[in-house]
Structure 1
Amino acid sequence: MKKHIYIIANFLAIFALTSCESELNQIPLSQGTTENFYSTANDFIQARNATYSYAFHGANEYGYANRILNLSEVRSDNFYATTQASRNWEGINNFTTALSTNPLIKEAYLSNYNAIYKANQLLEKLESNGSVITSETDRTTMKAEASFLRAFCYFDLIRWFGKVPLIKNTLTAGEVAKIGRTPITEIYDLILSDLLFAVNNLPPSYDNANFGRVTKYGAKGLLAQVYMTRSSPDYGIDGAMLGLNEWDKAYQQLNDIKTSNLFVFDTNYANIFKTEGNANKENVLVIPYTQNTGNGVGGNFQIELGYQPYFASLNLSDQGSLEYKPISTSFLAMFDTNDSRRAVTLAESYTVASGTYKGTYTSNPLVKKYIDASRYGNGRTDWGVDFIVIRYTDVLLLMAECTLHGGGGTQADVDDIVNDIRERGGLARDAVNVNLDRLFNERRMEFFGEGTRWFDLIRSGNAVTIMNNWKTSEDTSDKLGTIDKNSLLYPLPLSEFLAAPGLYTQNPGYDN
């Protein structure tokens, strides 16, 4: 059910990488071409599917899900992931200023531009040769999908890096090397234009055979997040936050998702992470993965917050999660005694019967909500567990956030949403006059291990204060660097400066 897009996409990705590998490795500082492609309707379908694959699955067995778990979850107050080994995530968590050569930073930058290149190319070919697709509806839908994916990648880029080069067409290396970092407002103009086109031209849903393609409501969910990010305090930095008052615009998009009646608040928290495909009515925007296909369409994001002894306790093969990422004590202390979400989210005691990791582990809790042994395939990159980018509970809580900013709805609506979530977790419906601080605490427990926390901190307007208070209480080993407003952005990769000397200026606070 989930493999329809990505099996075809894998074939085209192999074709693209073997024919244009040197060019793609330098994106955005060079671009490749496929002049003999796009001559049939099936060529366009393969190109569309490859664009999904580049945007969601990335490259080198590393995709959007892995990225957001490292750059958002591990960066936040949810993890105190300092280790004795030199691991890529350690600098992310430690707030070091020497991050411009970090592979996780480079991946976030280059993978997004690879996908943007594919989206630009598809949009251009639809304009010049799209008539080979005889259905005008199919052509328009494909254009909407490419537009969404381009917006998705640019939004991802500006949230991590702030200003980046705006590339709206396929260009030569020489042309790209003249494009500096574009003002955020200009990048937002393209993002909004692309998302509004997608919202107006994507279907509300797909059948099982097309599960994984973005719908009108997936686009509305992302558009709402764009409006909310634009409305967040700017912290005095040149980032994606503009301090605008667009909470009402965000609320409208989210309310459209709610009133579509296509999505359901699942009353069983565990079901959200165990139900696949269209059967999961919490899915608003999802990245599907399928195991046991032999086509490289399985995932591996489970390893990012996992730990090898736990995988061994499930009798799974080596996942490479040799270094334990400690969960912060401040998070572990948040749950009420009877909150059933804790048991779904965390593995806090597990036993390995024999072998290298034999023993019982009671002091190494880890995120297990996405670890489902029944959907494990042939090796560490072959998990068939979908990654939910936006789920319906998130839509409801984002609506509540907009309400508390005056964007629509009532205080009673906010309290009801929080109480529904508490009730699902086995807690009393005792939330009254919920404010933003309480709401963000509820979000922290609800979405732990899903990659939302860093963005939640930024939208709160108190990211620097919260992180420094957390540092004071958590960092007893004094391993964390300075956390200030500059820490809210990552540095551009050093490779981009070396490829075009003098073109870019690095984000403040980082070593180049």
Structure 2
Amino acid sequence: MKHLITKISLLLFGVLLLTGCGDKFLEEDLRDQIATDNFFTNDQEAQLAANGLYRILHKNALYRTRGLDNYYVNGTDEVGPSRNVNAQIHNYAIAEGVQDGNSTWAALYEIVRNASLFISNIEGNENLSDAVRDQTLGECLFMRALAYFHLTNLWGDVPYFRELLPLDELGSLERFSKDIIRAEMKDDLARAKQLLPPSYSDANLGRASKWAAAALKAKFHLFDKEWALAKDECDDIISSPQHRLLDDFASVFDQTDRTNQYNDEQIFAVDFTTDGIFGDSNTNRTDDYNPRLRDEPSNRNTRPDGPGTPARWQLLQADLQELDQDMSGYGWAIPLPELADQSNWDPDDLRYDVTIVTEYLGYELSFPYFRKNWNLNNSSPRENHSENYIVFRLADIYLMAAEAENELNGPGNAYFYVNKVRERAFEPDKPWSGMSQTEFREALYDERKFELCTEGHRKMDLIRWGILLDVVTTVKHRPWNNPAANIKPHHVLLPIPQDEILLNPNLLKTDPTNNGYRSN
């Protein structure tokens, strides 16, 4: 879908999509304005509607910049700021109205509203061909489930609806049990899995496939400790011919060729493109991880060849220019000290050099960086990057299967799954064996960190394992941050956004404490 995004008609954004709501569910009741009979009169209209859902994922509050990353990546034992920025989130200085995720909440409900409206108008629509009706319905079901996945992860119980409601009903909804929401999303994903094709090609790359639906369904099951169901979905994906583990770990993240940014390990990715017709078609998340030259290299003002000769930063800049590269990022999302320290990794773990960089082109750097996330090529300019955000990939599925099998039956058959991931990670090979169930479980804590760090999994992993507070209070942070002093048990969820409560006090009816952020 690298080029499809640039071709989306504005028609549906002006007529069909319920956008621009910002701090509330709806500004007006569009059900009173749009006749829903024969809402889509041909295949193209239904396809454009599905395309519009993917566009919402491009919002800054979701995948384009640090929207979801704020709550899935920061504040754990992986990423921290290189200076005193983003401190409220990293230091758990979160409250109603203070980094409470209001824009993320609004963007996710924008997906829910639009997907629900489209589902009701695609199902049984005889104006559509069978193939387009099945695919667009499957995509809408997947996208709505993805939105509720994030909503229930971040806020727990949330307002829930499956069809577009009148304004007065939307504006007075109470919170709904996340267990019921997630159960129904699993059912929707089972249906989506049957409707969606197993793969795409050319301009359709990036659309949700049946395996994307299976991966999301597996996540729901894993988070809910439904081990057998999680493993069934993982096994189904692993046995599919469409996806495989790449032989080289670095290749999974190679985004340098803008015409070839998908690979067989990716199951679902949010597709960004440089110079798209929409302002958020590209991504600037990369710049959080790209260094800025004003910081680099270490001892940057030293002149190795004596007074009057170029400083180290000038020498580095010249060497970068020879490669058509630059360090023009924000440079603040960097590895925490313990993750950056290679002595905390197995010495034979090849993933370290792909993940972490402390020296470049012969220059020691002032800070460590995430090599897997940066792109220094001038063809990928600042705030105009085309990199895909990988949401699900096969290595994660193998590790999920390993965890589920271990919880079900112990490590005996779980070794197969984790060792498949470790085969490419180590030279010489270092397969696991001889562990107890508890030892396997705890070893997987680190294995997922080393394999998947910065990919949006760590925070929820630590929460579902019940060890977030232990990890945050014991890992080493930099002097300008001290999350250990602030984190409390209620920080496993966000508070319902203050703006939403002001509009709808019913959001506090079932929980006056707002997830523990206020007293009764």
Identify the TM-score tier after normalising by the shorter chain: 0.7 to 0.9
Q: Distance in 2 between matches of 1:374 and 1:306?
A: 10
The one of 320, 341, 346 equivalent to 2:356 is 346
Report Cα offsets for 1:279-336 as digits up to 9, x if no partner: 61101111122224444422222123444238986766896626x2452222223223
State the SS of the aligned residue for 1:401: helix
The one of 424, 441, 444 equivalent to 2:446 is 441
The one of 368, 371, 375 equivalent to 2:371 is 368
Deviation of the 1:223 alpha carbon: 0.3
Q: Distance in 2 between matches of 1:298 and 1:96?
A: 30
Deviation of the 1:351 alpha carbon: 7.5
- Pick closer, same or farther for the CA change 1:210–1:349 going to 2, 3 Å: same
2:51 is the counterpart of 1:49: yes
TM-score, scaled relative to structure 2: 0.82
CA contact (8 A) 1:177 1:503 kept: no
The one of 140, 148, 167 equivalent to 2:134 is 140
Residue matched to 1:386: 388
The one of 256, 264, 272 equivalent to 1:289 is 272
The one of 109, 113, 119 equivalent to 1:113 is 109
The one of 22, 25, 28 equivalent to 1:28 is 25
- Pick closer, same or farther for the CA change 1:184–1:20 going to 2, 3 Å: closer
CA contact (8 A) 1:97 1:511 kept: no
Deviation of the 1:188 alpha carbon: 1.6
- Pick closer, same or farther for the CA change 1:15–1:506 going to 2, 3 Å: farther
State the SS of the aligned residue for 1:66: coil
The one of 404, 407, 413 equivalent to 2:406 is 404
Amino acid at match of 1:249: L
Q: Distance in 1 between matches of 2:187 and 2:284?
A: 33
Deviation of the 1:216 alpha carbon: 0.8
Residue matched to 1:235: none
- Pick closer, same or farther for the CA change 1:277–1:159 going to 2, 3 Å: farther
Q: Distance in 1 between matches of 2:228 and 2:55?
A: 33
CA contact (8 A) 2:194 2:210 kept: yes
Amino acid at match of 2:425: R
Deviation of the 1:214 alpha carbon: 0.7
Report Cα offsets for 1:155-193 as digits up to 9, x if no partner: 111001111100222123321122111111221233122
Report Cα offsets for 1:20-63 as digits up to 9, x if no partner: 655x2244254553727634432221111001211x21357x53
Deviation of the 1:392 alpha carbon: 0.9
Amino acid at match of 1:191: M
Report Cα offsets for 1:99-119 as digits up to 9, x if no partner: 53327x112211100111110
2:460 is the counterpart of 1:464: no
The one of 218, 231, 240 equivalent to 1:224 is 218
Q: Distance in 1 between matches of 2:170 and 2:203?
A: 38
Amino acid at match of 2:473: N
Q: Distance in 1 between matches of 2:517 and 2:196?
A: 41
CA contact (8 A) 2:287 2:382 kept: no
- Pick closer, same or farther for the CA change 1:248–1:377 going to 2, 3 Å: same
Report Cα offsets for 1:462-493 as digits up to 9, x if no partner: 233233332xx547667324333211111111
CA contact (8 A) 1:151 1:195 kept: yes
Residue matched to 1:237: none
CA contact (8 A) 1:120 1:168 kept: yes
2:330 is the counterpart of 1:321: yes
Amino acid at match of 2:355: T
Amino acid at match of 2:269: V
CA contact (8 A) 1:65 1:387 kept: no
Residue matched to 1:499: 503
Q: Distance in 2 between matches of 1:363 and 1:422?
A: 33
Amino acid at match of 1:95: Y
Report Cα offsets for 1:178-235 as digits up to 9, x if no partner: 211111122123312211111121111122231111111111011000001111xxxx
Residue matched to 1:337: 347
Residue matched to 1:72: 72
Deviation of the 1:120 alpha carbon: 1.0
Higher alpha-carbon deviation: 159-168 or 38-47: 38-47
State the SS of the aligned residue for 1:2: coil
Q: Distance in 2 between matches of 1:328 and 1:318?
A: 20
Residue matched to 1:357: none
Q: Distance in 2 between matches of 1:294 and 1:361?
A: 40
* Superposed counterparts of 1:202-221, under 5 Å: 202-221=196-215
CA contact (8 A) 1:27 1:113 kept: no
Amino acid at match of 2:90: N
- Pick closer, same or farther for the CA change 1:476–1:292 going to 2, 3 Å: closer
Higher alpha-carbon deviation: 496-505 or 384-393: 496-505
2:92 is the counterpart of 1:92: no
Q: Distance in 2 between matches of 1:467 and 1:2?
A: 38
Residue matched to 2:151: 157
Q: Distance in 1 between matches of 2:59 and 2:7?
A: 15
State the SS of the aligned residue for 1:388: strand
Give the unaligned 5+ runs of structure 2.
297-316
CA contact (8 A) 1:204 1:216 kept: yes
State the SS of the aligned residue for 1:362: strand
Deviation of the 1:500 alpha carbon: 1.9
2:269 is the counterpart of 1:265: no
- Pick closer, same or farther for the CA change 1:375–1:147 going to 2, 3 Å: farther
Give the unaligned 5+ runs of structure 1.
232-245, 353-359
Flag the structure with larger Rg: 2
Indicate the RMSD between aligned Cα atoms, in angstroms.
Answer: 3.1
Q: Distance in 1 between matches of 2:9 and 2:455?
A: 25
CA contact (8 A) 2:113 2:164 kept: yes
Q: Distance in 1 between matches of 2:327 and 2:388?
A: 21
Deviation of the 1:75 alpha carbon: 1.9
Amino acid at match of 1:109: W
State the SS of the aligned residue for 2:339: helix
CA contact (8 A) 1:82 1:94 kept: no
Aligned residues: 475
Report Cα offsets for 1:338-357 as digits up to 9, x if no partner: 433222222323489xxxxx
- Pick closer, same or farther for the CA change 1:404–1:188 going to 2, 3 Å: same
* Paired-residue identity, %: 22
- Pick closer, same or farther for the CA change 1:366–1:247 going to 2, 3 Å: same
Deviation of the 1:368 alpha carbon: 2.7
- Pick closer, same or farther for the CA change 1:375–1:459 going to 2, 3 Å: farther
State the SS of the aligned residue for 2:390: strand
